[in-house]
Structure 1
């Protein structure tokens, strides 16, 4: 009977040791998993913020005028420049006429 108690005591000791090792391994992996989950969550949050920034930039770029739009504006500006040149030439002639009329009115009919 004494031997049986010694063997039983040794078996309980080995089982306790095994239980402690299993508990330690489980705690190691559970803690590691939690830390990894937290890191994945923080990376996921950063990716979500980055995704929102990219979407905002895409919307801004889509709202910008394209090459064809800029070309159309350039053509209209050229046309307006030509029209302004023609108006300038007409105004020069009008200025000459006005100057002649002023001179005539200031000098009077001195002929």
Structure 2
């Protein structure tokens, strides 16, 4: 015979051993990528959560008054202060008039 069964058996054993080592090596190489895929998925979920929170904060910030709104409010408050000052002056005048009327009535004793 031109081939030997023992040689063929040894050759197939070496091929099987090479296949086993190569599949173990491939599994070892791809296990890291599976871990990375899982880590990337977790990071994406966390990023989506952070984007949702950021959207809520931006929405609330959009509802806050801006510089012009605060300036208008400041001017309105100043105007109210001026008006309250005028009302205060008027009330002082009314108080003085009331005191004078009261003094007159007390001094005259209600005589007519």
Report how many residues are paired. Answer: 110
Runs of 4+ displaced beyond 4 Å:
none
**Whole-angstrom CA distance in 2 between matches of 1:31 and 1:109:** 109
Partner of 1:32: 32
For the residue of structure 2 that corresponds to 1:65, the secondary structure is coil
Q: C-alpha separation between the residues in 1 aligned to 2:50 and 2:29?
A: 31
1:94 shift after superposition: 0.4
Q: In structure 2, how many angstroms separate the alpha carbons of the residues matched to 1:109 and 1:10?
A: 140
TM normalised by structure 2 equals: 0.89
Q: Deviations over 1:32-84 (max 9, x none)?
A: 22111110011111101110111111011101000000000000001000001
Structure 2: which 5+ runs fail to align?
none
Matches within 5 A, 1:72-91: 72-91=72-91
TM-score after normalising by structure 1:
0.90
